[in-house]
Amino acid sequence: MSSYTAEEMMSIAAARALTEGSSCFVGIGLPSTAANVARRMHAPGLVLIYESGCLGAKPDLLPLSIGDGMLAETADSVVSVPEVFNYWLQPGRIDVGFLGAAQLDRFGNINTTVVGGDYTDPKVRLPGAGGAPEIAASCKEVFLVVRQSTRAFVAELDFITSVGHGSGAGDRHRLGLPGAGPTLVITDLGILRPDPRTAELTLTQLHPGVTLDEARAATGWELAVAEELGRTEAPSDRELTVLRELTAASQ
């Protein structure tokens, strides 16, 4: 088995989570890489939806933006931006929404807006919401992909851009959010899932070679850990080959 990077482990873990025939709302970067690896491995019928309006895009290479011409040219249908949000995302037609985050809290709520200071005079101004609030609200479930560190995994968000499980179990229902919210958080250290009782993100799996102490140290709150902590299977040669060929071809 080859050696691999933490980034590669994340991409492959994310790809594995996507099931054949499901539909997936993908942003650029790691989500798009993972979805396109999944299409080449176990999920050739995965339906990729980009917020630029491309439904069922089948890119040969990794797109560099969510609006690459390749996505439009290979899509089953290209619709307007209002239509992709109103007719496709909002009614809950899309199985999985893939999101990243600058900050994330123990209930999977997300900040991609500002860090530090206050909203009108922030220390760091981030890009903002984009499609995320409604992806987080309306996809049947949400997968988050975030590098684990105390800067990203914070006890309290500086801004709630997109809602995960709010302040805990039952909160999504109270807010009227139709989807199940974050069911999976993939980091460079392991995998977290919401506790079915409390909705708190719980470490259920560590990637090969990562220790529980490392995961705890990279978390800005007292990390909940599953009773039976699993170990992620290392990337197979085939997975690495597919990922690397795709990445290399896209340079």
Partner 1 sequence: MADIVSLREGLAELVSDGDLVAMEGFTHLIPVAAGQELIRQRRKDLTLARMTPDIVYDQLIGAGCARKLIFSWGGNPGVGSLHRFRDAVEHGWPAPLEIEEHSHAGMANRYVAGAAGLPFAVLRGYVGTDLPKHTENIKPIECPFTGEQLTAVPALNPDVTVVHAQRADSHGNVQLWGITGVQKEAVLAAKRSLVTVEEVVPELTPRAGAIVLPSWAVTAVAEVPGGARPSYAQDYYERANTSYQEWDAISRDRERFQEWLADQVYGAEVKS
Q: Which residues bind partner 1 (CB under 8 A)?
A: 21, 23, 28-29, 45, 47, 51-56, 64-69, 71-73, 76-78, 80-82, 85-87, 89-93, 113, 119-120, 122-134, 137-138, 159-163, 166, 171, 175-178
Q: Distance (Å, rounded) from C-alpha 110 to C-alpha 174?
A: 18
Task: Let me know: does 125 contact 97? Beta carbons within 8 Å.
Answer: no
Output 36 or 205, the one with its CB closest to partner 1: 36
The nearest distance, CB 224 to partner 1, in angstroms, is: 22
Q: Which is nearer to partner 1, 113 or 205 (CB)?
A: 113
Rg (CA), the chain: 18
Task: Kindly state the smallest distance separating residue 249's Cβ from partner 1, in Å.
Answer: 15
Integer CA distances (angstroms), 114 to 97, 107, 222, in order: 22, 19, 24
Residue nearer to partner 1 on the CB measure, 45 or 209: 45
Among residues 51, 134, 200, 239, the one annotated as catalytic is 51
Long-range (24+ apart) CB contacts under 8 A made by 51-54 are: 51/25, 51/27, 51/81, 51/84, 51/85, 51/130, 51/131, 52/81, 52/84, 53/78, 53/79, 53/80, 53/81, 53/83, 53/84, 54/78
51 among known catalytic residues: yes
Q: What tokens appear for 130 in the block?
A: 């984009």
Task: Find, among 25, 22, 34, the residue nearest to 52 by Cα.
Answer: 25
Under 8 Å between Cβ of 48 and 57: yes
Q: At closest approach, how far in Å is the CB of 241 from partner 1? A: 25
What's the min distance (Å) between Cβ of 25 and partner 1? Answer: 11
* Least CB distance to partner 1 at residue 74 (A): 11
Cβ distance to partner 1 smaller for residue 77 or 211: 77
Closest by CA to 94, choosing from 141, 129, 36, is: 141
Q: Looking at the annotation, which residues are catalytic? A: 51
